[in-house]
Amino acid sequence: MSAGASSRFKLQLAVFLSSFLLNLAFQGMSPLRAQSAEKPSPTLAKNEEKEKLSPLAAEPPYLMEDERNTIDIFSRISGRVVNVSNLRYARVGFFSFDVTEVPVGTGSGFIWDDNGYIVTNFHVIQNADRITVSFKNGKTLPAKIVGAEPRKDIAVIRVKLDGAHSFHEMPLADSSKLQVGQKAVAIGSPFGLDQTLTKGVISALGRSIPGIGGVQIRDMIQTDASINPGNSGGPLLDSRGYLLGMNTMIFSESGTSAGIGFAVPSSTINRIVTQIIKNGRVIQVGIGIEQFDNNINRQLNIEGVIIRSVTEGLAAAKAGLHGTHRTRNGEIILGDVIVGVEDKVIRSFDDLYNAFESYQVGDTVRVSYMRDGKKKTVPIQLIDENQRLKGQGSIVPIER
φ and ψ of 226, to 5 deg: -60, 120
For residue 389, the SS3 value is helix
Give the Cα separation of 160 and 143 in Å (integer): 8
Residue 178 near residue 268, CB atoms below 8 Å: no
What is d(CA 236, CA 257) in angstroms, rounded to the nearest whole number?
15
Beta strands in 35-139 (DSSP E): 81-91, 99-111, 117-120, 130-134
Instruction: Report which DSSP code applies to 396.
Output: P
Candidates 175, 232, 257, 266; catalytic one? 232
Give every CB contact of residue 353 below 8 A, 6+ residues apart in sequence: 151, 215
Residues 268, 354 contacting (CB under 8 angstroms): no
| Catalytic-role residue among 85, 108, 123, 351 | 123
Which of 153, 219, 238, 384 is flagged as catalytic?
153
Q: Confirm if 265 and 245 have CB atoms less than 8 A apart.
A: yes
368 is catalytic: no
Decide if 153 is catalytic: yes
Q: Is 232 a catalytic residue?
A: yes
Helix (H) or strand (E) holding 361: none
Q: Of how many residues is the chain composed? A: 400
Residues 6+ apart with CB under 8 A from 347: 303, 304
Q: Which residues pair with 103 in a beta bridge?
A: 87
129 vs 283: CA distance, rounded Å = 25
What are the catalytic residues? Answer: 123, 153, 232
